[in-house]
């Protein structure tokens, strides 16, 4: 299957927090559980070997006893400035290949701009679903940072 280069998603958010704190929110399973998952879903299972080449598995409780799992490998870790990892839903779906998520953490006068690029989508519908998911996650991350829970 050929994956078009044009189907990617880019989101940018500025958080009123030092970039080390924002980076740690992605690097520490306990911190990640506090914000990851677009509501009403929650990240109830978070296994990660946070090193380049290390794997992760996130389990999202989406209600009614249903779970979704995403798995991947950490490709690049340059604390606190860059994080790149693969992203694949554990239940195989031929329309969803292994994707790539890149995060850049840019310091801006005591705040942090986070630039998220999620790429290798096969359809616009997949990209839109992931956009809604990431929007919810980043909103939760912003609240957790503002409440100093990370």
- Per the prediction, the chain carries an average pLDDT of 91
DSSP 61: E
Query: What residue ranges do the domains of the chain occupy?
Result: 8-36+77-146
pLDDT digits (tens, 9 = 90+) for 53-100: 999 999 998 887 888 899 999 999 999 999 999 999 988 676 678 999
What strand order describes the sheet that includes 55-63?
8-15, 111-119, 99-108, 82-89, 66-78, 55-63, 42-48
Annotation: CATH topology of 8-36+77-146: Alpha-D-Glucose-1,6-Bisphosphate; Chain A, domain 4 (3.30.530)
Q: What are phi and psi of 13, to 5 degrees?
A: -140, 145
Record the pTM. 0.91
> Helix 19-27 to helix 124-146 angle, to the nearest 10 degrees?
120
Looking at residue 35, the DSSP 8-state letter turns out to be T
Residues 44, 49, 52, 53: what is their CA dihedral angle, to the nearest 10 degrees?
-100
- The closest alpha carbon to 8, from 89, 126, 100, 121, belongs to 121
**Omega prior to 40 cis, within 30 of 0:** yes
CA dist list (Å): 57 to 48, 114, 129: 6, 22, 20
CB-based contact 75:52 (threshold 8 Å): yes
pLDDT confidence bin for 2, thresholds 50/70/90: low
């Amino acid at each position: 299957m050929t994956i078009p280069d044009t189907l990617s998603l880019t989101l940018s958010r500025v958080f009123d927090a030092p970039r080390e704190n924002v980076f740690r929110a992605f690097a520490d399973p306990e911190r990640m559980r506090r914000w990851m998952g677009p509501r009403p879903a929650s990240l109830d299972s978070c296994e990660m070997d946070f090193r380049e080449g290390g794997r992760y598995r996130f389990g999202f409780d989406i209600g009614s006893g249903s779970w979704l799992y995403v798995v991947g490998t950490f490709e690049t870790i340059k604390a606190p400035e860059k994080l790149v990892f693969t992203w694949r839903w554990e239940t195989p779906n031929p329309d969803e290949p292994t994707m790539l998520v890149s995060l850049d953490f840019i310091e801006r006068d005591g705040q942090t701009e986070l630039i998220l690029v999620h790429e290798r989508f096969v359809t616009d519908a997949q990209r839109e679903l992931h956009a809604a998911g990431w929007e919810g996650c980043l909103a939760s991350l912003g609240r957790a940072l503002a409440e100093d829970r990370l």
